[in-house]
Amino acid sequence: MERLDFFRQSIRHLLIEYAKLVTQNDGIEAQTIFDTEHDHYLLVHVGWRGNFQQIYGPAMHFDIKDGKVWVQYDSTDFDPVGELLEMGLKQDEIVLGFHAPYKRKHTGFAIA
C-alpha cells in the first residue's frame, strides 16, 4: 500500500506542475482530473481559441493498475516518464501503455 500511495502522490504532483505551465491568457485552461478510487489521472485542456475554435482534449493520461503506473497518453513536449524515474519510480514499475503490447518488450520498461 505504501508504494501505491507513492505512485498516486508522484502522478498528482507531476500533473499539477504541468498544469501550472499552461498560460491562462490564451483562453485555454489546464484541468487536472484525479480519480483516486479507480486510479485514473488526467491533464485536460479546455477552452476556446478565439470565438470559433473549441479546445478540448487530454494532454496526459495515467492509470495505476496491477501495481504499475501506466502511461496511457502523452501529447506534450515534456518528459513525464523521465520525471517519474527521477522521483524514484523504477522502470519495471512503469508501463508505456501508448506502445502496442508487442513493442513493450523492447522499451526497457514493464510490459504489463
Q: Which three cell numbers stand for residue 56?
A: 478540448
pLDDT band at 102 (very low <50, low <70, confident <90, very high): very high
Q: What is the pTM of this model?
A: 0.92
Structural domains of the chain, with CATH: 2-104 (3.30.310.110)
Residue pLDDT, tens place only, 56-99: 999 999 999 999 999 999 999 999 999 999 999 999 999 999 99
Residue pLDDT, tens place only, 20-46: 987 666 788 999 999 999 999 999 999
pLDDT of residue 3: 95
